[in-house]
Structure 1
């Protein structure tokens, strides 16, 4: 898609990205809305709000997932604030028209849902939001940052916006540009330094080296942890029709439960590995769906807990926080077969193959 277009066709990888966003919000809204007086959804690069075929953009997805949620009527005392920002004036005009259409179709509009449309650069918007806090904490916020390219997303600004504990970030990272420019020594360097918060990208392996992609990916992921202070960061790779990596989506949180939920959504989009979507396979029917391969998880548990007796909760937390797998992969798909193979023991277990809270699992020494 040319960045000069106002409205463009919906690509398969964008539809997959929206699937990740929408399904996660289904879980996020009732959890945050039930225990907080104010919740914020920030879309820093909202676009025109609609695609060429009439498909909804991210602002409409975010709104409809709340308004159509079965729990919404049970949260009348929670204020839901939506901030949709788009820098390009023509796209912004389209966005405003789309938001107006949505509001008109949803009358009477709920009094606890506020929508703000902004025509700013993301940097300008971020500075305005920070200055408006006047030392107060930002309300629980889901920040969706989906820019074109690599400009206007300095990690230093993101760090200041997400320093409050109850902030989650879902951010686009343009690998195609990283691969092209990271060691080119060009005028792009200042933008990349702002993006990464370091100039270590210049040390990436040369173009063509198979280790180059992993180096750049891992550097940005580590910066999200170290600079922004996120405890948990998970990436999702988007592969284009040429079977090349176009970009990654990084989900960042400080909450283990939220991390498990987003990773579970990623596994729905990619049932085999939970980490990758390819335009090449979009729309094609898989006749024989493979089972999730938990052999790597089994090996990792044996290594990490060797010689120990630990609780099922400790095992589950380790799987969520330190492996690609999620909580639903732990008991039936991994531990039960391990027990059947007599690889592990469960002292005091009432029913073999079942692992309720409080169950202890003993792993053999190396």
Structure 2
């Protein structure tokens, strides 16, 4: 049973599919280069809750977008192994037909595989017990059944393996205090952590509760070796609160930076050029007219304190500071230019000797920044 999830492609689903497909494209390009350097024979894409391949309105979902990309790129068509799974036999039947209807799908060296099974401990054991080739995995359950720290850890444990998973915040938020789904919450957060969370969450405001749950999830994943966690939130249609999130997990900082840029571009709002890492349909109806948070001023203050008395390149400032923040590379370039203009820092070469790009002073990766 498809739960009506694929009845139509809602705007938020389109954004989700775009984020996953764009990261797959970038990840695959990096892996093709590695294959040429180190002789990799295979790379893989795994989708454990793949759905029927198309929404009822005919729009392609993620499996078909990934396969089309591979068909269009010979080097990728040669390397890519794909494994799709869904617990609904009707979805698997539809997906197989959708794949067979793709033009030139025969160009894929490895024929796509579509399976019908429940995702649970057996799947986790399978991934845990084998060393997998570089793999990008997408875990997109309807609710929380089948989603666990163990399955996420098992698909990112090896080199070149990254994962994106769907976090249904509304249902998980409700499930945390529901004893009938305790086993699912234990599998996702860990039994000791979720017990402490239940106590702490009592009396929290909805906003604080949301931030706390996402932070605890990130810490639970980091305990298992996932070094970099990046969430992208989707708001309800009225923009009031988060309904769900797309969460990226990797052990590689380059993957983190690539996905951060993709999610930044998918954000529905910016504040002083700092992306929200959120998508809200309400933002198009009610755009921000002015900035209240002043995030660039906050960045300037933090950089002054963090790097006091140091001299280092722009790129090193960015790499040392941006992990776990909403700031992207262009935010650092812009604020460092502003700080130089106001005399808070000095730069070598100075602004007068750096070129203008589209009416703005450049601040290249190798510009040396001195903090007093």
Superposed pair shares fold, TM > 0.5: yes
Q: Which deviates the most, 156-165 or 90-99? A: 156-165
Q: Secondary structure at the match of 1:8?
A: coil
**Alpha-carbon offset, residue 73 of structure 1:** 3.2
Partner of 1:234: 230
> Does residue 363 in structure 1 map to residue 367 in structure 2?
no
> Does residue 12 in structure 1 map to residue 11 in structure 2?
yes
Mapped contact 1:237–1:248 kept (Cα < 8 A): yes
**Alpha-carbon offset, residue 230 of structure 1:** 1.7
**Alpha-carbon offset, residue 209 of structure 1:** 2.1
Q: CA RMSD in A?
A: 2.6
Query: How many Å separate the matches in 1 of 2:203 and 2:234?
Result: 20
Mapped contact 1:138–1:164 kept (Cα < 8 A): yes
Alignment of 1:109-258 (within 5 A): 109-123=106-120, 124-131=122-129, 133=130, 137-184=131-178, 186-198=179-191, 199=194, 200-206=196-202, 209-210=205-206, 211-227=208-224, 229-243=225-239, 244-258=241-255
Partner of 1:50: 54
Deviation digits for residues 158-201 of structure 1 (CA, Å, limit 9, x no counterpart): 223321132111111111122212134x1111110011123233
Q: Which deviates the most, 212-221 or 299-308? A: 299-308
Distance 1:357 1:10, change over 3 A: closer
**Alpha-carbon offset, residue 51 of structure 1:** 0.5
Mapped contact 2:28–2:76 kept (Cα < 8 A): no
Partner of 1:262: 259
> Does residue 95 in structure 1 map to residue 103 in structure 2?
no
Query: How many Å separate the matches in 2 of 1:289 and 1:100?
Result: 50
Find 2:329's aligned residue among 324, 327, 330: 327
Q: Secondary structure at the match of 2:112?
A: strand
Q: Considering fraction of residues, name the structure with more helix.
A: 2
Q: Secondary structure at the match of 2:137?
A: strand
**Alpha-carbon offset, residue 148 of structure 1:** 0.9
Q: Secondary structure at the match of 1:241?
A: coil
Alignment of 1:61-80 (within 5 A): 61-68=65-72, 72-74=73-75, 78-80=78-80
Query: What stretches of structure 2 of length at least 5 have no aligned partner?
Result: 355-360
Query: How many Å separate the matches in 2 of 1:307 and 1:248?
Result: 39
> Does residue 40 in structure 1 map to residue 44 in structure 2?
yes
**Alpha-carbon offset, residue 79 of structure 1:** 1.4
Query: What stretches of structure 1 of length at least 5 have no aligned partner?
Result: none
Q: Secondary structure at the match of 2:186?
A: helix
Mapped contact 2:155–2:162 kept (Cα < 8 A): no
Mapped contact 1:256–1:320 kept (Cα < 8 A): no
Query: How many Å separate the matches in 1 of 2:238 and 2:168?
Result: 16
Distance 1:356 1:279, change over 3 A: closer
Mapped contact 1:85–1:118 kept (Cα < 8 A): yes
Partner of 1:315: 317
**Alpha-carbon offset, residue 208 of structure 1:** 6.0
**Alpha-carbon offset, residue 349 of structure 1:** 5.2
**Alpha-carbon offset, residue 233 of structure 1:** 0.9
Query: How many Å separate the matches in 2 of 1:60 and 1:207?
Result: 44
Deviation digits for residues 198-228 of structure 1 (CA, Å, limit 9, x no counterpart): 323323423662421111111001112122x
**Alpha-carbon offset, residue 288 of structure 1:** 8.3
**Alpha-carbon offset, residue 53 of structure 1:** 0.8
Mapped contact 1:79–1:114 kept (Cα < 8 A): no
Q: Secondary structure at the match of 1:187?
A: helix
Distance 1:309 1:141, change over 3 A: same
